[in-house]
Amino acid sequence: MHPFKVTDADIVYGSRFIGEQYVRLHFFWHYIANKILTLFTNIMSNLNMSDMETGYKVFKRSVIQSIKIKENLFGVEPKITVKLAKKNLFFMKSPFLIKEDHTKREKNYFKRCICCHLLHFKILSF
């Protein structure tokens, strides 16, 4: 919430990759998949994000209510990001650390990545 207090930010995305003092190491293939998805989102949105697949996204109420999203798969994240970027809103990124339980890692991570890539191509074609 700090970026909202000290700037005119409309949207704040957290990033696991720009840590302040300590940065957690991530599984290599998860990191690569995240970087590829983030790259595609950056290309489509003209933003310079470091972590599109972050679980930390904070929006002003008026901002998130200004768009319509219809998505049943994991593609909701890039859709929201691209739609809001087209509105020329003020995005900020903020470092944060998360504690993940890797004993319960996502089993369908590869499937989720493929779905997100397909959505990226779908968005690019419009």
pLDDT tens for 94-104 read 887 666 555 55
Q: Would the pLDDT of 115 be above 70?
A: no
Percent of all residues in the chain with a pLDDT value above 70, rounded to a whole number: 67
Selection from 108, 126, 109, 125 nearest residue 36 by Cα: 109
How far is it, in rounded angstroms, from Cα 53 to Cα 35?
Answer: 9
What is the mean pLDDT of the segment spanning 53-82?
85
How far is it, in rounded angstroms, from Cα 109 to Cα 94?
Answer: 25
For the chain, the structural domain boundaries read 2-124
Q: pTM for the whole thing?
A: 0.71
Selection from 88, 68, 79, 82 nearest residue 10 by Cα: 88
3-state helix vs strand vs coil in the chain, percent to 5: 45, 10, 45
